[in-house]
Amino acid sequence: MQSVISETRQEQDVHPIQFLVNLSRDLIFPKVGTIYMMECSLRNILKINHHYNEILLITIILYQ
């Protein structure tokens, strides 16, 4: 988890939608706690707005 956050900080210039595409391609969310932590990380690091949170929720739903 920590490595994902570190990599994210280095890629702040990546468009949030592209970041979520990369995230959905590279990660599978096995636990609800991990999903919550990832969402908080995205909000804090990328300062994404409500629109991108909806995209994130759609991405999470696809994995359930």
In a domain, 10, yes or no: no
Structural domain contains residue 7: no
Kindly list the averaged pLDDT for each block of 10 residues, start to end, along the chain of length 64: 50 66 62 58 60 63 61
Number of independent structural domains in the chain: 1
| Residue labelled with tokens 């990546």 | 14
Task: Classify residue 49: in a domain, yes or no.
Answer: yes
Cβ count within 10 A of residue 63:
11
Total residue length of the chain: 64
- On whether residue 22 sits in a domain, the answer given is yes
Q: 52 CB contacts (<8 Å, ≥6 apart)?
A: 16, 17, 20, 42, 46
CB 49 within 8 A of CB 14: no
pTM score, two decimals? 0.24
Q: Residue 38 sits in which domain range?
A: 16-63
Give residue 11's pLDDT. 47
Residue 25 domain flag: yes
55 domain-assigned = yes
The end-to-end CA distance of the chain, in Å, is: 19
